[in-house]
Amino acid sequence: MNNTAVATKRHASLSLILVYIFVVLALIWAVVPLIWMILSSLKTQAGMFSMPPKFFFKPTFQTYHIMFSSTGHFGHYLLNSVLASVGSTLISLVLGTLGGWAIARGNFKREKDISFWVISTRMAPIPAVMLPLYLLFSKLGLIGTMVGLIFAYTTFNLPFALWIMMTFFKDIPPALEEAAMVDGCTKFRAFYRVTLPMAAPGLVATGILCLMFAWNDYAFASVFTSTASQTVPVAASLLVSQQGIQWGQAMSTGTVIMAPMVIAGLFVRKYLVRGLSMGAVK
């Protein structure tokens, strides 16, 4: 009896060691590309390509200088990226919050159909969505405009915001709104004053995810923008040419694209799980 207990204990600690090894290997796999990107962005051209790779070196901010110097249009692209992603996030968040609450509280006959419609809009393949939008936009003269890009991003952000906000509102008991209505509030006022503040963390997480999807988009932006309306991911892709790739610039551009999303994502980490899993983990 005692012997088996010792054996089980030894077995448990051995398996825990294996668990540790597995987790550490996975973490190395996850972060090495990111660390390598940041390190490479701080290297000189020669240092970047040296073989065997250099792990210790004197950092230089040359590529960042070039990126933001007056010759490049990076600042302009950055502004486009901010405008398009913030614009589409705001529209999606406002409409998604109102609509999400309505689906969560209302008594719609075809709620299941509405839900499925919403989610299938979000999950439609990007190339399949891109094509009809491109044809419509070229008829309406929206190619190369900010309005067009904001509209394009809203095709995936609105259904997402609707769905997630609906699941957040379903978690908040309607009793509080009912109490407010007994006290004389209208339904909308009860939603606005009582439920909305309670859903604020969900609202922030949804907003950050919408921002991230729009900010990271390349496919839509590559088709719907012209030189003047290019976004940062498109700018990064332009560093790839027939003659080769400007790797130094590509690595610093990649770092600049990634940094704000990582910071924002970690900031609302707690609520992201629900957002990324479309609210279905319960």
Partner 1 sequence: MATKLSETETITPVAQPKKARQKSANITERWMLMPSVILLAIISFIPLFYMIYSSFMNYMINPDQPTFYHFHNWAVTFHDSAFWLSWGRTATYAISGLVLEFLLGTALALAIYRLPWGQNIVTTIWMLPLFVAPIVTGLLGRFLVNSTYGLYAWVLQLLGVHTEILGNTLTAMPALILMDMWEWTPLITIIVLAGLQAMPEEPLEAADVDGAHYWDKLRYVILPLIARPLLVAVLVRSMDILRYVDTIMITTEGGPADATKTIGYYLVQIAFQFQDFGRAAAVGLTMLVITILIGQLFVRAFTRGEQQ
With CB under 8 A as the contact rule, which of the stretches 68-76, 82-90, 141-149, 153-161 interacts with partner 1? 153-161
Q: Which segment (64-72, 96-104, 141-149, 194-202) binds partner 1 by CB under 8 A?
A: 96-104
Stretch touching partner 1 by CB under 8 A, among 62-70, 167-175, 196-204, 231-239: 231-239
Does 129 engage in binding with partner 1 (CB under 8 A)?
yes
In the complex, what is the shortest distance from the CB of residue 128 to partner 1, in angstroms, rounded to a whole number?
4
Query: Is residue 176 at the binding interface for partner 1, with CB under 8 A as the rule?
Result: no
* Residue 261 beta carbon to partner 1: minimum distance, rounded to whole angstroms: 4
| Burial label, 202 (beta-carbon count in 10 A; 0-12, 13-18, 19+) | buried
267 binds partner 1 (CB under 8 A): no
Tokens representing 257 are 């694209």
The helix or strand, by DSSP H or E, that contains position 103, with its residue range, turns out to be helix 74-105
Count Cα neighbours of 251 within 13 Å in the Cβ-side half-sphere.
Answer: 20
> Least separation, in Å, of the C-beta of 171 and partner 1?
13
Find out whether 156 and 213 touch, Cβ atoms under 8 Å.
yes
Cβ of residue 229: shortest distance to partner 1, in angstroms? 17
Which residue number, 203 or 251, has a Cβ lying nearer to partner 1?
251
Please report how close the Cβ of residue 27 comes to partner 1 at its closest, in angstroms.
5
Phi, psi of 262 (to 5 degrees): -65, -45
Structure tokens at 7: 């054996």
> Exposure string (b/e) for 171-190, b if CB count within 10 Å is 16 or more?
ebeeeebeebbeeebeeeeb
What tokens does 259 get? 């940094």
Give the one residue of 61, 117, 171, 228 binding partner 1; rule: CB under 8 A: 117
Per CB under 8 A, does 246 bind partner 1? no
Residue 192 as a binder of partner 1 (CB under 8 A): the answer is: no
d(CA 248, CA 235): 14
Residue 140 in contact with partner 1, rule: CB under 8 A: no
Q: How far is the CB of 239 from partner 1 (least distance, A)?
A: 8
278 interacts with partner 1 by CB under 8 A: yes
Q: Scan for tokens 């957040």, then name that residue.
A: 168
Q: Is 51 in the site for partner 1 (CB under 8 A)?
A: yes
Q: How far is the CB of 76 from partner 1 (least distance, A)?
A: 19
Beta bridge partners of 75: none
Alpha-carbon distance of 82 to 84, in angstroms, equals: 6
